[in-house]
Amino acid sequence: MKIDIFTDKEEFSYDIYSLVKAFCPQGDLKVFVKDEEGRGAEECYSLFEEEGRLSFYKNKDLLFSEEVKPKSERAELKNTVKSVIYKGLSGLLGPLPWGDLTGIRPTKIARLLKEEDKSDEEVLGYMKDTYFVSDEKSELALSIAKRELDILKPLRKGLGYSLYIGIPFCPTTCLYCSFTSNSIALWKNRVSIYLDALKKEIAFVADALKDKVLDTVYIGGGTPTTLSPEELEDLLSYLESKLDLSGILEFTVEAGRADSITIEKLKVLKRHNVTRISVNPQTMNQETLDIIGRRHTVEDVVRAFNDARSLGFNNINMDIILGLPGEGEAEVRKTIDDIVSLNPDSLTVHSLAVKRGSRMHERILEKGYEPMVNTDGTMKIAGDGAKRLNMVPYYLYRQKNMAGNFENVGYAKEGCFGIYNILIMEDVEPIVALGPGSVSKVITKEGTLERSDNVKDVALYIDQIDEMIERKRQLFALWS
């Protein structure tokens, strides 16, 4: 369905778009920053300030209107804009679980309020009154925020940082994926060239940050275990030779896809004191695995998990995605039952988000194919499965175009929380990110967050590694 939105609040056009999209996820939305007739869209909405009131219309019917306070601050005006749209559309289409929140970090609101010594009741009231968040989601955000504060206590604040190392290769590209990944088959003979560039970046960081303390290391991708055992050995040995890993709080390698995990590679990770790994099925239904291009079997997942356990890995995460094509409650229940039988130490539950850079988005545009929208029922099945495993929720984030307007939640057993997962969402510690498509973040002397990104293309990253290092040099100069 084509939907046109007209407004005189140009500075809030993105917020307007995001909120209407949350109510109309399958709609093709466009925002026009002027008042004019619709352009052939099936539905038209408009938001304009009229005689001191902000009014929201569907076609020409008034949905909701609210007074605008004279000389409102930008933040206050933004809240009014979102409030008017939310009240209008929720009255028409029903409420959203996260109210009018369109950002990806709802728990950050609760965490900052708790850091101001607000009571639980004050936090819950603020979430409900300011953003119209449901009681269930407000309580979830609060419980996670309180847990995060405890988990993050060991950080070396002011001195500590976390290191991300990206391995941008995969066996195949999954249908839903938009991350920086490249076919390992095409790059097999050039992986060493990539690792040489990565080592150059590692060496610079080791020298530039020799007076800082490394809190966590996270090797992600792509799929890090697309590297051969010898390549993994080479990378991890070099990392240990340049950086002091003796005091780190967590060392994660996202082993990921079962078709890339071997006992030899797991032995390398164990030998280098990796403390946390992921074995990610996404689903335990073979038909769905085939549809999304995972190119491995359910049995491969079980084999990879059991191999890791046999080597003594005692902090294994598993990822699943809800809202995959063709999957309803029966399929999700099978996935959860299979995972419960394996008994991992943490479980990350993703709601499918269709990204513009994914093949799934292309298929929707070209063939009209649509993934299933996630439901309360499937979310509950996953949450109940986590409870059966004695896990609690410890981090949460949201994405654009997320199925059912839900969230991604990380569950874990006590002592198995993924610290880096919290840090990447909450912006409480610098993240130094290496490899193509990665983004480094530091907190400046003024308390602001500054970023430096690496180019996404692997070949460009290799050719321009000196420029990537120079970007980091300039970023580190802003570090508090």
pLDDT tens-digit map of 371-390: 456 688 999 999 999 999 99
Q: Which residue, 315, 316, 292, is CA-closest to 304?
A: 316
Q: Are residues 85 and 192 in the same domain?
A: no
Asked, for residue 368, whether it belongs to a domain, the answer is: yes
Q: What pTM value is reported for the model?
A: 0.89
Structural contact between residues 108 and 426, judged by C-beta atoms closer than 8 angstroms: yes
Per-residue burial over 186-202, b if 16 or more Cβ lie within 10 Å, else e, is ebeeebeebbebbbbbb
> What pLDDT shows up at residue 135?
96
Is 78 domain-assigned? yes
Same domain for 219 and 119? no
- Please state the rounded mean pLDDT for residues 218-244: 96
> Does a structural domain hold residue 345?
yes
88 and 178 part of one domain: no
| Number of folded domains that form the chain | 3
- The domain of 122 spans 106-134
Q: Say if residue 309 is in the same domain as residue 428.
A: yes
Distance CA 264, CA 374 (A): 38
Same-domain status, 219 and 119: no
Residues 248, 294 within the same domain: yes
Position with higher pLDDT, 51 vs 337: 337
What per-residue confidence (pLDDT) applies to 376? 84
- Identify whether the C-beta of residue 217 lies closer than 8 Å to the C-beta of residue 163: yes
Looking at the fold, whether 23 and 125 belong to one and the same domain comes out as no
Is 440 part of any domain?
no
Q: Is the same domain home to 408 and 338?
A: yes
Classify residue 457: in a domain, yes or no. no
pLDDT band at 103 (very low <50, low <70, confident <90, very high): confident
Strand partners, 452: 440
Would the pLDDT of 369 be above 50? Answer: no
The answer, yes or no, to whether residue 358 has pLDDT greater than 50, is no
At 361, the pLDDT band (50, 70, 90 cuts) reads very low
Domain boundary among 434, 452, 472: 434
* Cα angle value 129/383/15 (rounded, 5°): 40
pLDDT digits 0-9 by tens, 23-51: 988 788 899 987 555 556 788 999 999 88
pLDDT of residue 367: 44
59 plus 183 within the same structural domain: no
* Rounded percentage of the chain residues whose pLDDT exceeds 90: 72
| Residue 460 resides in a domain | no
Predicted confidence at residue 72, as pLDDT, reads 80
Average pLDDT on 139-168 reads: 95
**Is the domain of 306 the same as that of 362?**
yes
In this predicted structure, the answer to whether residue 425 has a pLDDT above a threshold of 80 is yes
For residue 362, pLDDT over 60 is answered with no
What's the CATH number where 217 sits?
3.20.20.70
Per-residue pLDDT at 70 exceeds 80:
yes
Same domain, 340 and 383: yes
Give the domain-ending residue among 434, 450, 468.
434
> Model confidence over 430-464: pLDDT tens digits?
999 999 999 999 999 888 999 999 999 999 999 99
Shared-domain flag, residues 37 and 84? yes
- Kindly tell me if the per-residue pLDDT of 419 is higher than 90: yes
Note whether residue 101 is domain-resident: no
* Residue 151, domain member (yes or no): no
